[in-house]
Structure formats: C-alpha cells, structure tokens
A = this chain, B = another copy of it.
C-alpha cells in the first residue's frame, strides 16, 4: 500500500481534510463519534503521520544530531554512548553524522541542519575547520550548539573539553622521568584547539626539565595511514632517533607499533611510547601501551546534558559555559 495521507483518509470517510486533521489532533471542535470513525479508518488504512509534516507543525524533531569526524576511534564511539545514555532518558533520537575530517562535508551537514532536522547539535569539529560561519548561522536560527572535545574558536557556546595541556605535560614529564632525552610529538592539524593545547603542554614540560624545545620534534601527521607509516619508519631509521614518542591520537599510537615492528625497534628498550587513546586493547598490546585516557563517556554525557538544559529552557544560556573533565595517565609497559 502507498502512502496514506490525510486527504486519502478524508476521501474514504467523506469528510473534509481539515476535519480529519483536527480529529487526529484530538481537537475539541470535533465530536467524539467522528473522532472514533477517523481513528478507526486511520488504523484500518495503516495511516502514519508524516514526521516532516508534523515536525513542521510542532517545529520539533525530538532529535539531536552528533557531528563528529569518525567512529573508528574509541574516543568518539565512547562519547556517542555517553550522549545516547542521556538522549534515551529524554526520549530523543540521536543522529550521528560523520565528517571524515572534511570541512566541506561538515558544512554540508550543518547546512542540512538549518531547517529543523535536529533540535540541537553536539559537534566535535574536523581538523580542517577554521570558518565558524555555518555554526553561527545555526545559533542565529535558535538551534543550540554544544562543542565537545574539539572546539571551534570564535563561537561563544558551551564546551566540554578535557585538560589537554596538562595531560600532554604529564605525558612528557613521565617520559623524561623514565630517562627520555629526545621526545617526538606526533601531531595532527596544529590549527585544531586540542592539538595546539597538547603541543603547549609538551613544550612546558620540556622547559620545566630544562630541555630545549626543538621544532623538528613535532611530527605533523595526516589522515592518510600509509603516509604516516612512511614518515614514522623514516624517523625510526634516523641516526638520532627519538627515545620517546607521544602519539596525540589513537590511530597514531597503533601506527608507531607497526613502524617499530617493521624497523625492528624495540618498545620500550629503544623507544618509549605514550598514546592519547581509549583503546580497550591498550592493556593487552605487546607491550601494554601507556595511555592518556580521556573521559570520553563522561564528556558525551556532560555535553548532552547541557544541550538538553538549553532545549528545555529557552532562557538557559550556553554562553561561556566551559567544563573541563580531566584525563588520566595510565602507566603500562610501553614506557617502562
């Protein structure tokens, strides 16, 4: 059977479409017996209200959108679980939209959201994002936006972040205390807020230990796995190879293991490794990986809670609402 519309219902009932519509909305203008006839026919014809049409009337989608780079990273998959835990309680649907680190894709998704597909947005921006215009536009339309983890400067709204600078400081400090003298920092986009913060923490720890910062120890990585592996293997073959390495995202930590294996470099004897990672397998790797573990689930929960506060109360301001949930250094064999 095709789509049963109010018009089709009306024809079967020999009523006007307006009457059917009012009856379905339980309007006081329509008599009890008529409502009953309409509901029976609606059930018989398997009528479903078109959510686009009813969203148009209610101006509510009862949906929130989560926009993030990818799900093949434990941080994001755990954050989604935190967000869903809250949304479930509120009876909201969650749409997950992936940008694959492309700012154009992100803009297209944000543009789609302009017209009411979601009542509110949680976003962790791409590593390419510099232009806040699409997000500002949503805010101007009254759609609340909350950042988690990766924020976009120039937008005044709530941000749920972790202590990126302090975590990188702790990671660097730990490597130095374990005897490292030359620590490489594997970075993704330096334009990204979290990347910038982590590099700052790394530099501060070096300074605190009287080690001179060397720009060439910041290794720019990309989202191309093969390209990263090539650079990492090149580093492992250098005469003055680093004796410590900080992988600022999860994938890079796994690639360090791969490069070390292929170049016969032993972890931790030849090089000590720390990763910013929520990998569930971290403790079972060979050797077990020392991690900066981010509070992914809690960050997702906190971001969703703030968004629902804004959705529930028009006068609640998200402005300058910053929550910092600390990450944790978990020492394992890779830095022994």
Contacts and interface: CB of A to CB of B under 8 A. Distances in A.
A185 interface: no
Contact of A52 (B56, B70, B281, B284): B56
A51 B280 contact: no
Contacts of A251: 280
Contact of A116 (B52, B81, B112): B52
A164 interface: no
A267 B287 CA distance: 15
Interface residues of A, number: 58
A42 interface: no
Contact of A80 (B78, B84, B98): B98
A286 to B, nearest CB: 4
**Most chain B CB neighbours (cut-off 10 Å) among A76, A84, A115:** A115
Interface in A74-103: 74, 76-78, 80-81, 84, 88, 93-98, 100
A96 B49 CA distance: 23
Interface string A110-132: 01101111000000000000000
A257 B286 contact: no
A71 interface: yes
Nearest to A91: B108
Interface in A131-168: 137, 140-142
A109 interface: yes
B96 A71 contact: yes
Contact of A97 (B76, B95, B105): B95
A258 B284 CA distance: 8
Interface centre among A1, A72, A74, by most chain B C-beta atoms within 10 angstroms, is A72
Contacts of A96: 71, 95-98
B279 A141 contact: no
B116 A51 contact: yes
A285 B282 CA distance: 9
A317 interface: no
A117 to B, nearest CB: 6
B48 A115 contact: yes
Contacts of A97: 93-96
A49 B117 CA distance: 12
A98 B95 CA distance: 9
Interface in A27-51: 46, 48-51
A109 B93 contact: yes
A261 B283 CA distance: 10
Given A1-B141, A48-B115, A52-B56, 19 more contacts: A2-B142, A3-B141, A46-B140, A49-B115, A52-B55, A53-B56, A53-B115, A71-B77, A71-B96, A72-B78, A77-B77, A93-B109, A94-B97, A96-B96, A96-B97, A251-B280, A261-B284, A281-B281, A285-B286
